[in-house]
């Protein structure tokens, strides 16, 4: 599963998907803790995790099987469809279980390219 870490400088590019493929993706909000990067946004030391989330796709691409992953520190989903040559911004909103809940919104760009 490709894992996106939006908190690294410059982010991490995602490999393009083919229009006919159905691939799983994840957005990691505790990349350091989970071994996927150098930074954590979640305060996992004090038990902070994602309590609610939404994943919003644009028209032309389909999302399914949305779920929390990595001990509730990331959001996973499958992507299917899309038009060759198009880029699709997937918006991910999360809210944490902190005493004063924190929110974050990130955008993951899914490129669709015939391979």
The two tokens of residue 16 are 């393009």
| Closest C-alpha to 65, from 14, 24, 21 | 24
Note the pLDDT tens digit of each residue in 50-104: 999 999 999 999 999 999 999 999 999 999 999 999 999 999 999 999 999 999 9
Return mean pLDDT, the chain.
89
The two tokens of residue 21 are 């493929």
Per the listing, tokens 């991490």 go with: 12
Is pLDDT larger for residue 17 or for residue 36? 17
Domains and CATH numbers, the chain: 3-111 (2.60.40)
């Amino acid at each position: 599963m490709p894992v996106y870490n939006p908190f690294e400088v410059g982010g991490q590019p995602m490999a393009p998907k083919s229009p006919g493929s159905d691939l799983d993706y994840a957005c990691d909000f505790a990349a350091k803790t989970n071994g996927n990067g150098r930074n954590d946004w979640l305060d996992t030391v004090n038990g902070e995790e994602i309590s609610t989330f939404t994943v919003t796709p644009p028209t032309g691409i389909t999302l399914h099987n949305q779920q929390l992953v990595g001990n509730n520190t990331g959001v996973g989903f499958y992507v299917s469809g899309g038009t060759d040559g198009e880029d699709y911004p997937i918006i991910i909103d999360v809210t944490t279980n902190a005493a004063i809940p924190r929110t974050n919104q990130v955008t993951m760009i899914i490129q669709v390219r015939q391979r």
